[in-house]
Amino acid sequence: MTTVLQLDEIKRLVDVPQLIAELEHGFVLYSDGKVNVPPVGFLHFDNPPGDVHIKYGYVLNDDYYVLKMASGFYENPSLDLPASDGLILVFSQKTGELKLILLDKCWLTDQRTAAAGAVAAKYLAPRNVRAIGIIGTGVQARLQLEMLRNVINCQRCLIWGRNAEKVREMIGELKAREYFQDWGLDMEAAASIDDLTRECNLIVTTTPARSPLIRADQIQKGTHITAMGSDDHGKQELDADLLGKADLVVADSISQCVDHGECHFGVKQGALDESRIVELGTIIKEPAAGRASDEQITIADLTGVAIQDIQIAKLVDRALSGRLSGA
């Protein structure tokens, strides 16, 4: 029998610390070659502008295989509709039976994307984070900052966006939330990216930019950057020379990031040799392969891998099974 879960019920089943742990395990499985993940499927639309990402795969000898579709149609807010939508389908790896339909409206994708940023920061950020820098003002900007509390001890954050009013709205919204009040995080608007990069040694970029926002000469020694926005062909947040300058470049998936991540531009423009890129799962399994000192510049290029969707779907399934069994 197929179980269908709506968004409200899905939200009650996801535990963030468990999600972060599940993703860590999933990245290791992926880098160990224990996951079958075909290339991402993309659909692009011009009128109205939109795109759909299709990610699917399975862990070898596991119970399920998973297919996820997530869309973004960017003029939807003018129609009083959310810009994002999506669902996850969970099938039996033994019979092909559709076991679970997660009508999450892209919420699970947002959560697993933000949790991956937390995983990257856990293993790559310097020991002493003076200030967190967030570039962007959308859903992912908010969630990345929220997830970082689970792995980073820091009390200051600077936020920059192209629209200063949206930055003020974001700061006001977050300051009003009990979660951030309990954290005691001091949030302020950065007047420029120069100001943000000068003050912050943990930076997260969360925009759909199609030309670089951060140059190599703006980044100080000891900085970690997690780049989230380059999840499709043509998107770029970091100057290619910055990847060449970095002491360590980490990818969630080397093949994906070289195809359409920040690493794509670094390799294409000759600033980065593909052989220098290390997968996140390798560093989780072997921390010695990660940051070697607080003086290093590190970059995590996260394009989003189907193993994240597999792991979060399994997390929901286990939580649902435990609730139904009374565990």
Handedness of CA 163, 169, 173, 174 (dihedral sign): positive
Catalytic residue from among 55, 68, 235, 314: 68
105: left (phi over 0), alpha (psi -120 to 50) or beta: left
Task: Indicate if 175 belongs to the active site.
Answer: no
Residues assigned a catalytic role: 68
